[in-house]
Structure 1
Amino acid sequence: MSPSATRQAVAAAQRIVVKIGSSSLTTTEGGLDAERLSVLVDTVAKRVAAGGQVVLVSSGAIAAGIAPMGLRRRPKDLATQQAAASVGQLALAHAYAESFARFDLTVGQVLLTADDVVRRSNYRNAQRTLNRLLGLGVVPVVNENDTVATTEIRFGDNDRLAALVSHLVGADALILLSDVDALYDGDPRKGGAKVIREVTGAADMEGVDAGSTGASGLGTGGMASKVAAAKVACTSGIPVLLTSSANAASALGPADVGTAFAATGNRLSARRFWLAHAAGANGRLWLDDGAVAAVVKRRRSLLAAGITAVEGAFDSGDVVELLNPTGTVVARGVVAYDAEELPTLIGRSTHELPAEQRREVVHADDLVALR
């Protein structure tokens, strides 16, 4: 059987983001597994030698710090997680630098926090840095900066981070490597689950139970976060291949393994992608049916007349979510008013407003529909 168009696209991709999970790089006791890391580097180096560019989004910092710190298991409290990340990140970066040096490849470490993708200026700075590293022939190794994270380290952060980085660098494909060889319609450990080889749209995901946690106890993403990351990438025009780290050579070669997720949307501009997936929302605006149709179907600006309620504390220039009457988020955008200004304006047509307030609440250029 000939490979699908999605698999052909992944195999032919010139710029690729590869995400590797903690459980694929570390032992069950904690600490790096040098042999696994070496095999991964061999595969990435081969793709680079063939003319490709690879950004490696690597988990493993916290897990790599467990054994050196004398801990018995992954810590649950934030302070100890940050301490383990501090120790483990150094070990991880050193191991990558030494291993890639066997192929005369230079590694650049890029540590990102949520702020770096939520704040527009930071987002653009990260984009410039990654593109420059690739242009210089460097292999960027990206990780979430767990050492200085100020919120709880959530499940699946690096899966989502990989999807965001894919758009940041204009990747032609995203490859997610974990400890599971493909997406199944249920838990493959329980038996009877069927593998899903191709996902071309939402219909292929009906009835699929992706679960919520990893199997090894070291990883934090689980299949659910990988599916969510795949959706972010695919709806932004980037095909995704999901498989196990054991299949890395095939994933970065003919792409004939795992589950292929077809790109289902058009490439968004950097600004619209940031609005849709990276920016944090500080409030919510509830819309009537007419405003939903204008914003989502006709891609028009949001006017005060179509707003029915306001939630949250936000300032002009913040990102807000736009909800339909049933409470579903249908769009996101940059609001042009402070939260306290809007209650007296909602539901009123433009000609009823004072002259200084006759402007769009969310301009069409600052808005992205999600449905």
Structure 2
Amino acid sequence: MSPHSVISSARRLVVKVGSSSLTGPDGGIDHDRLVGLADALARQHLGGTQIVLVSSGAIAAGIHPLGLTSRPRDLATQQAAASVGQGALLAAYTRAFARHEITVGQVLLTADDVTRRTHYANARRTLERLLDLDVLPIVNENDTVATSEIRFGDNDRLAALVAHLIDADALVLLSDVDALYDGPPSRPGARRVPVVRGPHDLVGVESGGSGSKVGTGGMTTKIEAARIATAAGVVTLVTGADRVVQALSGEDVGTVFLPVGVRGRSRRLWLEHATTARGRLIIDDGAVTALVDRKKSLLPAGITAVEGTFHDGDPVDVCGPDGATVARGLVNYSSSELPALLGRSTKELARDLGPEYEREVIHRDDLVVI
């Protein structure tokens, strides 16, 4: 089986489309492009493939209704544009898929929705149930409430995490760039990289450059998304939105990133890639050994310092004596509670403060070694 044929044979597929692939020269949504994408996905869906569409474009869809001439730069106006545009975007998708008698469902996510234990389980359960009901979920970051501190940052990374969350067979990232090249595509002699089998295939590849004027992602974000997905065992294809039909047919287009990890749900992988640390815990050498080598939970006795402001349940980085990050986890205490507990055993804390203090600072199930 060729690397590209995995896409056409996927039982469960996540497809991400960027804003630049849905907008026209005026910056607004190009409905012909949107309908063309929906038609291609509908054929695959009706053929038996479960598809989750991660779609950008909410902010772009709100530009014209708000009388703006370009994508807003400030967060508040971006959120306002997303609020107006999200409904318009979903309505357009609803009409486009209804032509094929396919029902769509909207799922808006923030980083908090998929890092906290109960929220993570809820997001997975919702997507699984929608797929069971033969609905085509349309996922986007909830731009109307997300702040700069709790954003996924771009929908490429969100799509990779959704592919991991639902244990997808493959991920397709569609944009206005048809493939990864070994240099800028505009440079004479630049060659397409058809297959990436591991990090060694990216040595010497120039992937810099920003996204389009209506989007936030560039090729660098797609490579990072591919790294997240392939670490979870998900085959990833990067190609142009105008080649979606060929991509879904398994033709040799774009760049395929082959898995470097094993498929299967692991909340720790999600924790590593989906979260942004709200603070740092500095630990001693003994605690580093316990976490890294013995896979133990983090206890108050091994912590020497607390940095930052965070609440219980927030993600924090765990750093060794030299300041290097060794792990990330969801903390069970706030930054205001922890300093009084440092260096003390859980039994001592339970005796002096009550039984509720006989617990880990970070349980090993909520911790990933980096």
Q: Mark yes or no: TM-score above 0.5.
A: yes
How many residues are matched? 365
Distance 2:346 2:160 in 1: 43
Q: 1:201 aligns with which of 198, 201, 215?
A: 198
The one-character-per-residue Cα deviations of 1:62-85 (angstroms, maximum 9, x if unpaired) are 112223333221111223222322
Percent identity over paired residues: 58
Confirm whether residue 321 of structure 1 aligns to residue 317 of structure 2. yes
**Equivalent runs, 1:280-295 vs 2, <5 Å:** 280-288=276-284, 291-295=287-291
Distance 2:322 2:178 in 1: 38
Q: Which residue of 2 aligns with 1:88?
A: 85
CA contact (8 A) 2:110 2:152 kept: no
CA contact (8 A) 1:18 1:177 kept: yes
Distance 1:83 1:318 in 2: 27
1:328–1:83 CA distance, 2 compared to 1 (3 A): same
Distance 1:308 1:191 in 2: 56
Distance 1:366 1:9 in 2: 33
What TM-score does the superposition give when structure 2 sets the normalisation length? 0.86
CA contact (8 A) 1:18 1:54 kept: yes
1:296–1:243 CA distance, 2 compared to 1 (3 A): farther
CA contact (8 A) 2:283 2:303 kept: yes
Confirm whether residue 181 of structure 1 aligns to residue 183 of structure 2. no
Distance 2:82 2:337 in 1: 44
Distance 2:274 2:328 in 1: 11
What TM-score does the superposition give when structure 1 sets the normalisation length? 0.86
CA contact (8 A) 2:319 2:327 kept: yes
Q: Which residue of 1 aligns with 2:164?
A: 167
Distance 1:110 1:331 in 2: 30
Q: 2:241 aligns with which of 240, 245, 251?
A: 245
CA contact (8 A) 2:167 2:265 kept: no
- Cα distance, 1:178 vs structure 2: 0.5
Q: Which residue of 1 aligns with 2:40?
A: 43
CA contact (8 A) 1:182 1:244 kept: yes
1:136–1:194 CA distance, 2 compared to 1 (3 A): same
Q: Which residue of 2 aligns with 1:366?
A: 366
Distance 2:109 2:81 in 1: 17
Distance 1:19 1:25 in 2: 11
The one-character-per-residue Cα deviations of 1:334-363 (angstroms, maximum 9, x if unpaired) are 334544565576567x69966657765433
- Cα distance, 1:112 vs structure 2: 2.2
The one-character-per-residue Cα deviations of 1:97-126 (angstroms, maximum 9, x if unpaired) are 111112111111222233322433333222
Which stretch shows the higher mean deviation, 60-69 or 327-336?
Answer: 327-336
Q: Secondary structure at the match of 1:66?
A: coil
Q: 1:109 aligns with which of 106, 111, 118?
A: 106
Q: Secondary structure at the match of 1:249?
A: helix
1:107–1:62 CA distance, 2 compared to 1 (3 A): same
Q: Which residue of 1 aligns with 2:258?
A: 262
